[in-house]
Amino acid sequence: MDRKLTSRASTSSTPWPKCKSFYPFLLCTAIFSLLVLPSSAVAQHLTGRIKGTVKVTSEDPDATPTLLVGARLTLVSRDLPDQLFKSLTDEAGNFIFTDLPAATFVLTVEADGLATVRREISLVSGAGLTVEIVMKATISETVIIRAEEGLLSTAETTTSNTVQSQTLKDVPLRAENYQSAPLLTPGVVQGMDGVDHQKGARAGQSAYTVNGVDVTDPVTGKLAFDIPLDAAANVRTEENPYSAVFGRLTGGSTDLETKGGSNNFKVTAARFFPTFTGFFSGQIESFRPRITFSGPVVRDRLFFLQSFEYRFSRTQVPSLPDSVDETTSETFNSYTQFDFNVNKTNSLKFVAAFFPEKIRFAGLNTFNPQSTTPNTKRRGSLVSISDQAIFKDSSFLSSTFSYKTFDFDVFGQGTQPLELLPEGNSGNYFADIRRRSQRFQLREIYYAHGLEFHGAHSLKLGGEIAYSRVTGVFRENPILIKRLDETLAQRIDFAAEENVSARVGEFTLFAQDRWVVNKKVTLDVGLRFDRDQLARQNTISPRFSFLYLPLKDQPIVIRGGIGLFYDRAPLSVGYFTQLPERTVTTFAADGISIIDGPRRFDNLVAPQLRNPRSLRASAASATWSVQRQTISSSSLLKHQVRGPSCLATAAVHATASFK
């Protein structure tokens, strides 16, 4: 489908005058040159533009083309080898290229499942062209049998699952947040405490990032970040992150990619109707409104996205008496993003997120009434700025600086000792903790120009510097352990209130090469170096993984890999010796006579700390898919067969979009 469109500026020629008086004509010509030639000179520097729409249709001649969203367009010219122009079609199927010099371009249009279209376009200075692209698709059917999104990639050497934003809204996730997305990946399970465990690792041994920025709690290593669901573009979970880019983990890796604004103003609102404990009566059980605004600040240059979300939930414990059987949770999330196209080769992204949370009577259950439970407060923030610079050889550099805070408070309902009994506890929660943590992170990744040596090589070089610190106040009340007859069996006392602090610096270098040997074999080879100041240890992690496609026309994929992984030492180790010491006293059956103690326990840390290490290897595993795709004359239909699901949900959403 190669066509050629040409735009020419019309000119007119004036024949040589055949008049008796030549001088008046010469004077007119001089005046005309003074007026026209400056304008023509200015026109030489005017830039043009190319805009249009992309549609898709079937081979049926009576079919009506429909607008195609997300088509990828590339504009290149032999006269301008150092310049590459890219664009995507918006929700209306429109695209536009601006600030184009006069040249002959080749426009390439690509879309998944459709044949690539190329057109040659000649553009003169200052001209504007409107182009309509129609992509044709053959009538066929596709049945996709898969467990989750992204697991059957024929380009990745590792198994990963990417959950798109629409899936996050459609799947009946009880929490309705992006943190639930990893649970859609095989190998990820949730514990009784609501924390995810990836590949059998304990909570805190997996990596969580947002646009590549570490968002874990520096103290525990657990996920400590939240944003409104409408701001999430996709969530990618790596079961076996063999790439050297991933480090400081022995489990899996989850990265959230956020949305940005566009040239269209858009407002999205959802969940503005609460649910009640009864049928439209009783107390509010859940209320989770969210609203998102996005659009241009400066068209084609600066875009914004602002999203707010409020979440309230009430949970009742039927086994407890009325009026003391409830635990409540309140969360407010704010997410702000600005995307700035500095020029054709440089772009900036600014992100600011705030996520306070308050829980009353945390951990309420049959054996722990409200008086024994704590209240918790979490306050977190993230500010990051990232830059992407593209060089003339098509290589590019990604730079990111981020600052994250996370504060965590735990306090009881009073100061009475906590009493632990076989049939139920009483008293007040024993700990009063006020903790403040911060993390600074600088990350640089250079994506080199593709190399050809016995195949295609894609080299990635990077480094990272991180600095974390924590301060806090710990105060703990006595704990009384009693027998069934309520006689005292053991008493635990703590020393006076203590102020704690710790800090750690981390340094990383890594190199990763993707080697596409041929159409059937792809290799990923990487090496990572980490320096942990807390453990005072240098670690080197080699990684290797492969992908093999044994059959040419069948999507059967065989993968395997091996790698060495080192986890970071928890920052809590840095202040463990500063925590209040405990004293244990053991009593006889009468609950009065002391049979052991008081015995004081000192807080000690081994003199030589070592980072947790894991040697992971996955034997060759095969996955396959059977595809059957249907394209009707008016729309693209895809039938999907997924894993069993017997849940359904309904929600009210409202969306407004305007130019």
Q: Model confidence over 585-602: pLDDT tens digits?
A: 999 999 999 999 899 999
Please, what is the average pLDDT of the chain? 82
pLDDT confidence tier of residue 620, bands split at 50, 70 and 90: low
pLDDT confidence tier of residue 644, bands split at 50, 70 and 90: very low
> Whole-prediction pTM value?
0.71
CA angle 385, 398, 521 (to 5 degrees): 140
Does 471 score more than 60 pLDDT?
yes
Separation of alpha carbons 185 and 253, rounded Å = 12
Does 493 score more than 90 pLDDT?
yes
pLDDT of res. 4: 41
Does 315 score more than 60 pLDDT?
yes
pLDDT confidence tier of residue 635, bands split at 50, 70 and 90: very low
Percent of the chain with pLDDT over 70: 83
DSSP 570: P
pLDDT of res. 192: 77
Strands 629-631 and 451-452: unpaired
pLDDT of res. 491: 96
pLDDT of res. 402: 97
pLDDT of res. 27: 46
524-553 residue pLDDT tens = 999 999 998 888 889 999 999 998 888 876
Buried b / exposed e across 596-615, counting CB within 10 Å, b at 16+?
eeeeeeeeeeeeeeebbebe
pLDDT confidence tier of residue 282, bands split at 50, 70 and 90: confident
Residues 105-116 have a mean pLDDT of 85
Residues 274-283 have a mean pLDDT of 80
pLDDT of res. 15: 43
566-576 residue pLDDT tens = 998 888 888 99
pLDDT of res. 216: 93
pLDDT of res. 145: 43
Read off the tokens for 93: 């199927």
Does 632 score more than 80 pLDDT?
no
Separation of alpha carbons 437 and 219, rounded Å = 8
Residues 6+ apart with CB under 8 A from 385: 348, 349, 350, 351, 400, 401, 402
Residues 379-406 have a mean pLDDT of 93
DSSP secondary structure string, 408-456?
Answer: EEEE-SSSSPEEE-TT--EE---EEEEEEEEEEEEEEEEEPPPEESSSE
pLDDT confidence tier of residue 29, bands split at 50, 70 and 90: very low
pLDDT of res. 334: 96
196-205 residue pLDDT tens = 888 888 888 8
Does 121 score more than 90 pLDDT?
no
Q: Which pairs from 519-523 meet CB under 8 Å and 24+ separation? A: 519/549, 519/552, 520/548, 520/549, 520/550, 521/546, 521/547, 521/548, 521/549, 522/155, 522/157, 522/546, 522/547, 523/157, 523/547
pLDDT confidence tier of residue 26, bands split at 50, 70 and 90: very low
pLDDT of res. 625: 45
Read off the tokens for 327: 């635990």
Does 227 score more than 50 pLDDT?
yes
Does 7 score more than 70 pLDDT?
no
Separation of alpha carbons 557 and 545, rounded Å = 13
C-alpha distances (whole Å) from 79 to each of 103, 105, 585, 652 are 7, 9, 86, 53
Does 161 score more than 70 pLDDT?
yes
Give whichever of 16-30, 199-213, 477-491 has the largest mean pLDDT: 477-491
Comparing 174 with 341, which gets the higher pLDDT? 341
pLDDT of res. 472: 95
Percent of the chain with pLDDT over 90: 48
Residues 639-649 have a mean pLDDT of 31
pLDDT of res. 470: 96
pLDDT of res. 154: 67
As a CATH number, domain 313-633 is: 2.40.170.20
pLDDT confidence tier of residue 623, bands split at 50, 70 and 90: low
Does 323 score more than 60 pLDDT?
yes
129-152 residue pLDDT tens = 888 898 877 555 444 444 444 555
DSSP 203: T
pLDDT of res. 436: 96
In terms of Cβ atoms closer than 10 Å to its own Cβ (0-12, 13-18, 19+), residue 208 is: buried
Contact of 80 with 101, CB cutoff 8 Å? yes
Q: Which of 2-11, 316-325, 394-403, 530-539 has the lowest mean pLDDT?
A: 2-11
Contact of 571 with 218, CB cutoff 8 Å? yes
pLDDT of res. 489: 96
pLDDT of res. 193: 74
Phi–psi pair at 425, nearest 5 degrees: -95, 165
Domain 2-15+47-137: which CATH class? mainly beta
Read off the tokens for 406: 């996370």
Read off the tokens for 181: 């997305």
Comparing 606 with 173, which gets the higher pLDDT? 606
Domain boundaries defined on the chain: 2-15+47-137, 313-633
